[in-house]
Structure 1
Amino acid sequence: MEVSNQQVTGFLSLHVKKATVSIAAIILAACGGGGGNTAVPPVTVDPGSGWVAGQYEDWRLNSMRNICANPRTTGGYSDTQGSVTDENFWIRSYSNDTYLWYSELPDIDPGTVNSNQDYFDLMVTDGLSPTGNAKDQFHYNQDTEAYNQSYLGVSAGYGVRFFVISSSPPRKIIVGYNEPNSPASENGLSRGAEIISIDGEAIENSNNVDALNAGLFPETLGEAHTFVVRDLNAAEDRTFTMSSAEITSVPVKNVATFDVAGTKVGYLTFNAHIKPAETQLIDAISQLKASNVEELVLDMRYNGGGYLTIAAELGYMVAGPLTEGLIFDELTFNDKYTERDPINNNILEPSRFESTAAGFDALTNPTPTGTALPSLGFTRVFVLSSGGTASASEALINGLRGVDVEVILVGGATRGKPYGWYALDNCGTTYSTIQFKGSNEKGFGDYSDGFFPVVSGDLSGAEVTGCLVDDDLSHALGDASEGRLAAALGFIETGACPSDSASAFGLTDKSSTDAPHPLSAVSGKLIQPDLGTVVVR
């Protein structure tokens, strides 16, 4: 969960670190970083750093904060000249004071690590979840300017999200989706297309991984690379050159209705809880309400999170007045902060379902603060999910279940991130370190290993009634024959998970004797990296 300095704003898992790491590490970091303590680099920067084990200065003091190795001279920041060691001292104090599991952190001399990135990576627990996974898989930092732009829905690249089926030879990378008005959409690079080669290097088996990564995720704007792709169901490959550009994300797409055995079903793709999503969700729900839909399918399979307030607004738009005054997500910090939050010193109060718009400052068409939200008044909602469904998306699932709205989960287990933080800048880097855990109206928040679709689940645990369905890259998102959407529509018609979701209620024109498309049921990870990310090995 991520929080601004003004309000609790959401579970963040939109970004990955720029680092020379393998695809496995990047997928682990898809919600903001990997976990676990690593060895201290054997470099002594300043043996006279002044470090005293167990003694910590207040990170809020002017003598601690924004004392920088490379002070910013523009933008109105209060940076003053310092060193890497000074920045490490701030990271150490900030982590010890606010980290949810601060008692599990090592106390390392800031003068013995010559990189802020390396030092911050050490300020993380190596504890495990109940199932043996790393307890903290979401520890990360990011350039502040890039961070701020990302929450406005602005990033750099081609405007495409790649689905990695295999990151090492024989590699296989498929397009998951694209953004409108982007280099990818302008070149017809759409869901299901396979990337065959980049700049003459074969994706499947090239040893030149530097060239592959440079082409997939260019370092700078305006960088041109030549792609050979095989479009979905195409007999031949095609070649084109694509240049990186500034991309404006459209988080809400494919708003549609379906008639399923006389029941009108609404659908929308929702990919990120970012600022533009507020108005886009209001418009989508208003459109579906005007269409008199009786059921709703929220496709959040690729929604890694964002602003918690937007999730609370969507929760109200789904369930309506029955949620008014009820807890959407209640935050618990470490034992140093039981009454006030550690950043703003505000009295701790639960986040409640929001019946009016917060008024996020989106770049275009922002909704005025206090605008009444539309609502459907549903007591059941279908959520299409995967391991990429995390943070604010999971908070939405949990929040709705907390007020007895039945959630039917169709797809795969979610990421497992009931945690969050205030994203805080120091010296041009925004640090995200877990500071609190969220729980719903019923007090439940123990889903650190994700929500799991099962044949029959209750409203208190991490098991959720639903259907296990692999991702279907052979159909567009929002296509009624796409495997996960088809399964949800089939459940609406029959009350159960269909054995053949694509044909269970006549939404496909293929003969039952046809072999399934090789991309109709795939496993892998959709990655959403920054510029310069290394993804193949």
Structure 2
Amino acid sequence: MSLNMRWGAGIVAGLVLTACGGGGGGNGNIADLGLTQTALALGAASQPEPIVASSTVAGRCATPRTGTDPETGTAFRDRTGTLDDEKRWVRGWIDETYLWFDEVPGGLLASAYPTPVDYFNVLKTPLKTASGRDKDRFHFTEDTAEYRNLSVGLSVGYGMELAFLQRSPPRDVRVAYLESGSPAALAGITRGMKVLEIDGVDVANGADTAKLNAGLAPANAGEAHTYKLGLLDGSTRTFALTSANVTMSPVQNVKTFDTAKGRVGYFQFNDHNEPSEAQLIAAIQQLQSDGGVQDLVLDMRYNGGGMLGIASELASMVSSSEATAGKTFERLEFNSKNPFNLTPAQATVPFYIYAQGYSAPVWQRLPQLGLKEITVLAGPDTCSASESVVNGLRGIGVKVNLIGGTTCGKPYAFVPQDNCGTTYFAIQFQGVNAQDFGDYGDGMQPDCFVADDFSHALGDPDEALLAIALTGQCINSGTPKSEAARQKANAKAWEPLLNRSPSRGNRIITNLGGGV
């Protein structure tokens, strides 16, 4: 059986900057949707509507697509329908597959919500985690065509990822990293530069957020925008940038360092997407050809997730056959309805020892470093499949040291489902490791709290997180001493820095129950 499952980041693309008093990007709640409290009250106070099987209304679209579906190579299956049909499909699909289907508030009338997406956004559990965060922070949708492009490593932009240290005035936006050969890289932009103006609008306190957001997240290739950036030496420079279709390089900065504890490998890993399979294999082979390493620093501070098969392959490559043979990398737990009719074997992802054919030849034997301990550089953008790498390795006794900030806390899986040109992501699984642990909804705590260092390039041995990893010496006080201080540190740590499409923070599972 083959399923495609993704793990969502829960951050709505666009709306990346807010006016004074605002928060970050939308999170799918009522205020974000612009729905009135009257509409909400109407839905909550009414009798529940009948729920139909999603299969009976699937593909009945208010605006049917025509032509060939690039995913299947066959004609779209859309047929003429209505928005009400699309809403009925959403409600049926949630009832059938959502992990917490029995926690969705009753009486939410579809008629109270103008679109199927609006309706979908309220069909989730209202419960909280132990820390008070929303239990489900990851409910989202995405345009189907855009979602597919991102899964194969394509995006529209300048090829620079921006970190939002402060989203509301006075805003603070820095360059986190760049894609090689991209418009931003070719223009001479580097990590750490501060965004001061976009198209003449002051980033720190400007009121024209529409203009700022248009320049931050261009909708199409070929858009021209002007950026004024502050350089690390205190000077400023203006860059004329034109958006393009950028190919993302998920693996960067592969290198080794000779330290007091021996040779240490390092690479930056940004996305568990299809191209990353071949690039990860090449990175591990490069470390082996450099004479092997006694330790590995895996920089996943900006890795929102991706394919769970890739996560399994990576965990297998850093470990050994002796440690992973016959062991479970991740087991998926679903609701009482078993909506996908999975056997226990089909719901179990092993440690793959062969490439699964995403971008490397299928059945290519994976290289292995044979390590019993690794270090992961992490933070609030370390999500989903990235957390699975940590949890999966810990499940078989590999020691994983975390340096940086608290991870995002996403032990949940999605089966993305297209209907009428929108792909819907609702939590359907929770993942646990070989020791049946998967309770990290409030994130994984670092062994050493260290703020991200934008004054050095990633991979520079003097960069704060990497420097601590190489020396093994935590230079701060570690976990805050008091409970109040810990909660304050976590609240800050939970704020994601990057503003990405939600689908770049998803776990994707293919060939579920198969592969070795």
- Shared fold (TM-score, shorter chain, > 0.5): yes
| Map 1:518-537 → 2, pairs under 5 A | 525-530=496-501
Contact 2:250–2:273, Cα closer than 8 Å, also in 1: yes
| Distance across 2 between alignment mates of 1:376 and 1:132 | 40
| Map 1:60-139 → 2, pairs under 5 A | 60-61=55-56, 64-75=57-68, 76-107=75-106, 108-139=108-139
Alignment deviations for residues 96-132 of structure 1 (CA, whole Å, 9 cap, x no partner)? 1111110111242323322122111111111001111
Matched, 1:172 2:154: no
| Map 1:195-234 → 2, pairs under 5 A | 195-233=195-233
Which of 418, 424, 438 is the matching residue for 2:431? 438
Partner of 1:437, secondary structure, is: strand
Partner of 1:435, secondary structure, is: strand
Which of 317, 340, 355 is the matching residue for 1:357? 355
After TM superposition, give the deviation of residue 90 of structure 1 in Å: 0.3
| Distance across 2 between alignment mates of 1:27 and 1:398 | 28
**Structure 2 spans left out of the alignment, 5+ residues:** 69-74, 479-491, 503-516
Paired residue for 1:242?
241
| Distance across 2 between alignment mates of 1:479 and 1:41 | 50
The aligned amino acid for 1:11 is W
- The answer to which of 104-113 and 153-162 deviates more is 104-113
Alignment deviations for residues 489-519 of structure 1 (CA, whole Å, 9 cap, x no partner)? 111xxxx424599xxxxxxxxxxxxxxxxxx
Compare the two structures and name the one with the higher helix fraction. 2
| Distance across 2 between alignment mates of 1:181 and 1:412 | 30
| Distance across 2 between alignment mates of 1:327 and 1:530 | 30
Contact 1:156–1:530, Cα closer than 8 Å, also in 2: no
- The answer to which of 417-426 and 112-121 deviates more is 112-121
| Distance across 1 between alignment mates of 2:444 and 2:29 | 20
The aligned amino acid for 2:354 is T
After TM superposition, give the deviation of residue 169 of structure 1 in Å: 2.0
Alignment deviations for residues 332-383 of structure 1 (CA, whole Å, 9 cap, x no partner)? 101111xx725x89964311100001101xxxxx311111000011110100
Which of 2, 6, 11 is the matching residue for 2:2? 6
Contact 1:35–1:138, Cα closer than 8 Å, also in 2: no
Q: 1:372 to 1:15 in 2, by over 3 A?
A: farther
Q: 1:269 to 1:21 in 2, by over 3 A?
A: closer
Contact 1:17–1:140, Cα closer than 8 Å, also in 2: no
Paired residue for 2:474?
497
Partner of 2:336, secondary structure, is: coil
Paired residue for 1:462?
none
After TM superposition, give the deviation of residue 21 of structure 1 in Å: 8.0
After TM superposition, give the deviation of residue 252 of structure 1 in Å: 0.4
Which of 474, 477, 489 is the matching residue for 2:455? 474
Q: Percent identity?
A: 39
Contact 1:419–1:435, Cα closer than 8 Å, also in 2: yes
Q: 1:8 to 1:423 in 2, by over 3 A?
A: closer
Contact 1:270–1:298, Cα closer than 8 Å, also in 2: yes
| Distance across 2 between alignment mates of 1:410 and 1:34 | 32
What is the root-mean-square deviation in Å for CA atoms of aligned residues? 2.8
Kindly report structure 1 stretches of 4+ aligned residues shifted beyond 6 Å.
34-39, 344-347, 521-524
Contact 1:471–1:522, Cα closer than 8 Å, also in 2: no
Partner of 1:16, secondary structure, is: coil
Paired residue for 1:312?
312
Which of 357, 361, 364 is the matching residue for 1:368? 361
Paired residue for 1:59?
54
After TM superposition, give the deviation of residue 159 of structure 1 in Å: 1.1
Paired residue for 1:324?
325
| Distance across 2 between alignment mates of 1:500 and 1:99 | 41
Q: 1:277 to 1:348 in 2, by over 3 A?
A: same
After TM superposition, give the deviation of residue 20 of structure 1 in Å: 8.7
| Distance across 1 between alignment mates of 2:38 and 2:76 | 30
The aligned amino acid for 1:328 is F
The aligned amino acid for 2:284 is I
Which of 387, 400, 406 is the matching residue for 2:393? 400
Contact 2:17–2:212, Cα closer than 8 Å, also in 1: no
After TM superposition, give the deviation of residue 523 of structure 1 in Å: 10
After TM superposition, give the deviation of residue 206 of structure 1 in Å: 1.6
The aligned amino acid for 1:329 is E
The aligned amino acid for 1:57 is V
The aligned amino acid for 1:325 is G
The aligned amino acid for 1:156 is V
After TM superposition, give the deviation of residue 320 of structure 1 in Å: 1.7
Contact 2:329–2:392, Cα closer than 8 Å, also in 1: yes
Matched, 1:418 2:416: no
After TM superposition, give the deviation of residue 41 of structure 1 in Å: 5.0
After TM superposition, give the deviation of residue 472 of structure 1 in Å: 0.3
| Distance across 2 between alignment mates of 1:34 and 1:299 | 32
Paired residue for 2:468?
487
What is the TM-score with the length of structure 1 in the denominator? 0.82
Paired residue for 1:183?
183
The aligned amino acid for 2:474 is C
| Distance across 2 between alignment mates of 1:316 and 1:479 | 27
After TM superposition, give the deviation of residue 312 of structure 1 in Å: 0.3
Partner of 1:445, secondary structure, is: coil
**Count of paired positions:** 473
After TM superposition, give the deviation of residue 236 of structure 1 in Å: 2.2
Q: 1:93 to 1:34 in 2, by over 3 A?
A: same
Q: 1:263 to 1:345 in 2, by over 3 A?
A: closer
Paired residue for 1:515?
none
Contact 1:11–1:419, Cα closer than 8 Å, also in 2: yes
Paired residue for 1:146?
146
